[in-house]
Structure 1
Amino acid sequence: MADASDSSFQKATQMAISHPKGDGASNNESLLWNQILETHDSDELVFAMKHVLDIIEVIFFPTTTELHGNFPVSLSQVGYADQKVLYSGHQDKLLELPRIIAAISGKVFCNWFDGVDRHETTMEVLYMIKDYNWDAKLVLAVGAFALSFGEFRLLSELHFTNPVAKAIALLKQFPDTLEFAGILKSKLEAVFLVVKAMLDMTKSVREFYELSHNEYFTAESPEIIAATADIPSAVYWTIRSTVDCASQIMSFKGMGPDLAYLRLSDSWDLSSSAHKLNKIRSQLVEKINLYYRFIEKKKDDERLNVIARVLESSHIDNSKSLKVLFQVNDDDQKMLFDCLHQKLVAIEELRGKIVSLFITDLDIVSEDYLILQQIYPEKLDDYDRVENKYEIVWFPVLDNWTKEKHRLFENIRDQMEWLSVHHPSKVAPQVIRYIRERCNFVKKPLLVVMDTEGKIVHKDATQMFCIWGNQAYPFSLSKEILLWQQSSWTITLLAEGIDQHLPTWIQEGKHICLYGGEDVEWIRSFTRTAKAVARGHGIDLEMLYVGKNRARERVVKKLINVTQREKLSKALEWRLISYFWLRMEKMCFSEPPVAMADQEEVKPEYFSPDNLVFAAPAQHCNPIFSGILKMLSVGSSSKGWAVISGGSESDTLFEADGELLLTALLEHEKWKQTAENYGFVTALEMYYHRLCNELPHCINMILPDTQIKQIYCAACYKPMEKMVMYSCCSDRASFGYDQEN
């Protein structure tokens, strides 16, 4: 019965006739190509090809045969592998083969005896097997040669000891191989080169057709059609090589003493045939290997999809997802390591809990680790609270593990307080692929969250952890959207959990000024002036130094000491300053505010009391996104910057460049009356924006690589020019490596 290979061959045939061997093919090649194709009628006749091929291999290369160079000798024993082939009980499947094999062998012998051209003999053989598929044609033709070759081998070995074999050898005028052993051996070595090439070619063509029936291919698959177009040529040259070898073997018979005069060119012809077959086969094998990789990729895709379906679906609990994630069958199998208590734990510890996978490589930048270092102690201090019912599992992802990398892994792990994968090198490749492709892990650390039902509910909750800490529980994407919808641009959002004094100041209705920079003279002048102006207006102003965006650690630590020693203001410690600005960046790139900001066009608003024109933020209609960008903009200034909040928790923030703000404070007499009508912060902000329009300013903004299309100046609200800056900050150490304090 015809199968998919027939359909694919028909398509390949059409392609081959149109472009045989490419556009540069010679007329002779095109003619030969068409002649070969004309010999193929159908794929209707089938037989047990694998069993026949195994028998052929026993004839050519018995497993107990001793090899001298390329020439096997000694057929006195039957090896175990050969016994399995010869006594397998498949004889009933070979009933129709002796006739066609004998016919092919007879055709080759008669044509050789009659001096028929080798090409013509090859074509006649092809016509004899026109109703077989191309791999079957090879098995039959090579089998016919094996029949003749096997007889030759038996006579060559047995005629010295077996009288029947000796009698047959005499009738066939078989040469005395003891006398001509050296000459015959060199001739047969050339034959065996071709025999091996023929057998390898037959196996490869057979392997190709088995692949073509694979579930991942169809008759229309371009890969199959392309390779099938090369098969007829491979079959032709293999069958022609059987004719060459058969002619060589038959020429040994009847020559007797004349064996020594066999042409040297015969060996060269056979070597050329072997080379040609090996070249054709190498191209076919290359394609076969590509198909195997294609099949493996498809299987890997299926395994990936199975993992994805489990991890992205809800279940009774999270056990099934955890087993898939860690590739275990037993809940009690200890696949995790408790870094705090230095002991192994089972995945059963995670049952019924929110699980956050801290996914990194081994090059963990300290600022990434800082997020968990800031919020995890709160969980340990009050574990009974609902929002603390979660676990963090460090899940390092590498493609290749070495002893050195494993030592580094253990060094980093032992400094953590949460759980870790015990043997990350044993994590299944499909799980690693899921993390890379479905969670988009490249280099930047991720916090992938799985809920209590085993479903991945957030593929990167880093921003949530950083902005809201444990209040973001259960850390799902829907929770993140809800938190943003409930937020407003106030001091509470800006400095949540940063300093213990802030909640008290807010509760007491005090004005709050967060400021920073790296210019000590500006800091001295600004803090003293701000306090004096505030007192003059009857304002209770609290000030807190929070450094700057992308600050230099050594410089900021010195300034912290100055502010505390000279009692200029309170100051955050360096670790919290780093966390404050990291939190700002995470806010900027958190998807919900960016998405909300992109929903509407830029629409500047104007506020004009007493002819003082105030241009409202022209970033986007989303005030949170606008405020975040302005904070990152003014906060990048080395000279100085500040953000001021009024005496109410709901008051929006006023962000300002340090030098312009100091000028506005020094000229407070010019807006004193406005302050009585609109309040201290509003009047200061209005006058500040007037100065922005009158005085020159230079404001820069440093952000990680981003897709934000347009950012506007925090001072004048004009579009900022986008430039590229390459940065290497030696102060930003990697976690897990020794660093100088």
Structure 2
Amino acid sequence: MNLLRIELFDPCLLSSIQEDLLIKNILRTHDPDFRYKIDAGHLLLVAESTMHFISPKFSYPQSNCMNSWNIEVFGLEEKLGYTIKKISHEIFCKCNEDGNLHEETMMLFETLGPFRWDAKVVLTLAAVVSIYGEFWLIMQLVHCNSLAALTAALKQMPRELNMLTLQCRALNLLLDTMIEAANLVLDFEGLPLQQELLDDEAIVVTKSKMNSDSSNIAAWTLFSLVYKLSGLCNDLREKLHTCQMQIDRQFPEKIRDLFKVAHFHNQEVLRVLFSLKNDLPLKDSSQEKYYGIQELKNKVVLLLISKPELFSVEEIFYLVRQMHDHPLHKKIGGSYAILWVPIPSSHTWSLTDELNFQFLSNSLPWFSIRRPWSLHSAVVNFIRQEWIYKNEPVMVVLSTDGVVTNLNATDMVWLWGAKAFPFSASREKELWEQENRILQLLIHGIDPLLTNWVEEGKHFCIYGSDNISWIREFNGSLKKIKSNGIQFEAIYVGYRNPSKDVENVLDISIEENLSISLSTTKMKWFWLRLESIKSSVARVEQAAHYNKSLQHVLRLLDACETSNDWMIIGEGSSTDVVILKGREVQECLNLVPELAENVTKLGLFDAMTCAMGPPLPVKPCYHNEILPSEEGLTEETVFCSRCKRPVEKFVVYQCNVTESAEQ
């Protein structure tokens, strides 16, 4: 097999003028079609892995390379294998024909014209390695496999490799140097914001070294080519280091400046953060497709930043319910998008991190960064420092014009789901100002039964405890209340940080026919909501200080934190609730059967409010309550703010029209 063809035309002997002319001719053939996208890094890895089986000098193949046949290619009208075969034909077959080697080499560059520089280098390398690998495979089997022997005969290969020992050694050395050069070219092409952060001299000098890569022209005078290419690699490595240092100095400031101003859209921000090394950085597992950042244009983007394992399974399911399965999703789902940006605790990705990410990103119904391990360190540092990411999940919200409107919308998403759109900090305050149904706030989206109770306006209570004796006593009081004809429902929601004991409580509840209980998954959702309420209230408490729902929430949180035994009771549509803890619960429930008449007249909630208040005065207090018309006409019972008794309702009409000055 004629692997070499030596002519008087030797690029190693070119004068500087001839070399400059050759480079200019090569540059004229460079006409990249940006629709053509090839995963050059993966293809180079396959080439390196192939060479490992030819010579142990080469690094051991990566497991993900050996297990994956799919090298990502976009825009090509032909299969990648056909493209590589065509290039190998240009290199090897025409080298065996008579003709002008320089012209044939330029024809090869014409074939490579539509590809980027990194793809040109790696495609050429892959073409050489594929033929060389086929040659070695046949030669290793020629003495023990009849098919290999016959194939070698048809190709007119020598029966002994001893005849080519020197040539193979030289070719192995050349390919090793070519792989080194290819890695340097990929590193340079992957530098972020070359045109913006590098000065013109650094770009021109470095690219001139890249474009002098004579190894792509042919495989002649091997040792002299290795010598020259090694020198080019050393020089290119030095220039590449200079470029990297220059970018590392300027890139962090570039990112910070990017968020100091508003933009016409979010594309520039997303490009700098995620799309500098990859034209298709987004992965959508629901459609099994890769996308560019243009898919997020004109959308509010929630950057879900977390460890590669994301949330617990229960939290992931609940997030899907709140954002993807929410009733509003069909209406406004096209206006926002979640983009998962996983960042490991350490500075490097472990195998466990990668496996967790691959599993989850293939299962979630939203976008994720396709190769999060390739994020630039300046981007990761910016997220940690400027967005205060400390390994706990956060949702940073980017508006349609690329402005950060919320550094963490996670609590909003847990509480209101898609209703929280556009997920800004101001929207969170607005939602709290509108929030007036505390029971609905606590149980929204957790269980359809609870939702129905709220919508039907039923009286019910939510209670928690880790004490089975207290739970039995509580349920005994509930049965007495119901035996008096009072309609009253209760549901058990577990307790904060439940252990395996909660399973025993649930088993006993079923066995003894106690009250309804949430499943363990829904219990976790309830306590997740409660924690989110606490966190959200801490942010907006001052701004919405007079909101009644906030006051109830604060009391409930205090009850949960100071006692494991607590109860909250109210009517589904009511804006008021009663919150009790410890022995207060039992004392209150013991009063209810004695108040059957008041319950019929006032309702359970109002009757309990009266029963738990101070002793009523003997004489009327004659205190007046003047309420706004809408509130004054409500069907709910109004209690006197002084004596706490139900008040009689009167309608007063007041004229506030000012007479005209002319009259």
TM-score by length of 2: 0.50
Residue 324 of structure 1 aligns to a residue in which SS? helix
Q: What aligned pairs does 1:268-667 form with structure 2 within 5 A after superposition?
A: 303-311=251-259, 313-328=261-276, 333-362=279-308, 364-366=310-312, 369=316, 371-378=318-325, 383-387=329-333, 389-398=335-344, 399-488=347-436, 490-533=438-481, 536=484, 539-552=486-499, 554-590=500-536, 593-598=537-542, 623-636=548-561, 640-646=565-571, 649-667=573-591
Question: Quick one: which amino acid aligns to residue 474 of structure 1?
Answer: P
**RMSD value, Cα:** 3.6
Does the CA-based 8 Å contact 1:360-1:396 persist in structure 2? yes
Aligned-residue offset at 1:482 = 0.8
After superposition, the Cα gap between the structure-2 partners of 1:476 and 1:598, relative to the gap in structure 1 and judged at 3 Å, is closer
Mapped to 1, the partners of 2:336 and 2:496 lie a distance apart of: 31
Mapped to 2, the partners of 1:624 and 1:508 lie a distance apart of: 20
Does the CA-based 8 Å contact 1:544-1:572 persist in structure 2? yes
Does the CA-based 8 Å contact 2:591-2:611 persist in structure 1? no
Mapped to 1, the partners of 2:337 and 2:539 lie a distance apart of: 29
Give the match for residue 185 of structure 2.
Answer: none
Deviations 1:523-568 (A, max 9, x none): 23312412432553x532122221112222x322333344345443
Does the CA-based 8 Å contact 1:382-1:388 persist in structure 2? no
Mapped to 1, the partners of 2:335 and 2:539 lie a distance apart of: 30
Mapped to 1, the partners of 2:382 and 2:318 lie a distance apart of: 24
Deviations 1:121-166 (A, max 9, x none): xxxxxxxxxxxxxxxxxxxxxxxxxxxxxxxxxxxxxxxxxxxxxx
Residue 664 of structure 1 aligns to a residue in which SS? helix
Does the CA-based 8 Å contact 1:517-1:637 persist in structure 2? no
Residue 568 of structure 2 aligns to a residue in which SS? strand
After superposition, the Cα gap between the structure-2 partners of 1:356 and 1:521, relative to the gap in structure 1 and judged at 3 Å, is same
Mapped to 1, the partners of 2:302 and 2:405 lie a distance apart of: 10
Q: What percentage of aligned pairs have identical amino acids?
A: 27
Instruction: Please list every run of 5 or more consecutive structure 1 residues that lacks an aligned counterpart in the other structure.
Output: 1-79, 81-291, 601-619, 692-741
After superposition, the Cα gap between the structure-2 partners of 1:353 and 1:639, relative to the gap in structure 1 and judged at 3 Å, is closer
Does the CA-based 8 Å contact 1:458-1:475 persist in structure 2? yes
After superposition, the Cα gap between the structure-2 partners of 1:499 and 1:570, relative to the gap in structure 1 and judged at 3 Å, is same
Q: What aligned pairs does 1:260-271 form with structure 2 within 5 A after superposition?
A: none
Does the CA-based 8 Å contact 1:354-1:389 persist in structure 2? yes
After superposition, the Cα gap between the structure-2 partners of 1:488 and 1:302, relative to the gap in structure 1 and judged at 3 Å, is farther
Aligned-residue offset at 1:383 = 4.8
Deviations 1:448-506 (A, max 9, x none): 11122222221100010011111111111121111111113521222222221233323
Does the CA-based 8 Å contact 2:323-2:329 persist in structure 1? no
Mapped to 2, the partners of 1:382 and 1:626 lie a distance apart of: 28
Residue 521 of structure 2 aligns to a residue in which SS? helix
Does the CA-based 8 Å contact 2:398-2:405 persist in structure 1? yes
Instruction: Please list every run of 5 or more consecutive structure 2 residues that lacks an aligned counterpart in the other structure.
Output: 1-14, 16-240, 616-663
Does the CA-based 8 Å contact 1:388-1:470 persist in structure 2? no
Give the match for residue 684 of structure 1.
Answer: 608
Mapped to 2, the partners of 1:597 and 1:555 lie a distance apart of: 35
After superposition, the Cα gap between the structure-2 partners of 1:346 and 1:543, relative to the gap in structure 1 and judged at 3 Å, is same
Residue 337 of structure 2 aligns to a residue in which SS? strand
After superposition, the Cα gap between the structure-2 partners of 1:569 and 1:298, relative to the gap in structure 1 and judged at 3 Å, is farther
Mapped to 2, the partners of 1:313 and 1:531 lie a distance apart of: 63
Question: Quick one: which amino acid aligns to residue 468 of structure 1?
Answer: W
Larger Rg: 1
Question: Quick one: which amino acid aligns to residue 653 of structure 1?
Answer: V
Does the CA-based 8 Å contact 1:383-1:389 persist in structure 2? no
Aligned-residue offset at 1:515 = 1.3
Mapped to 2, the partners of 1:438 and 1:382 lie a distance apart of: 32
Does the CA-based 8 Å contact 2:282-2:290 persist in structure 1? yes
Mapped to 2, the partners of 1:372 and 1:669 lie a distance apart of: 42
Q: What aligned pairs does 1:174-323 form with structure 2 within 5 A after superposition?
A: 303-311=251-259, 313-323=261-271
After superposition, the Cα gap between the structure-2 partners of 1:634 and 1:686, relative to the gap in structure 1 and judged at 3 Å, is farther
Aligned-residue offset at 1:588 = 0.9
Mapped to 1, the partners of 2:546 and 2:415 lie a distance apart of: 21
Question: Quick one: which amino acid aligns to residue 608 of structure 2?
Answer: L
Does the CA-based 8 Å contact 1:548-1:636 persist in structure 2? no
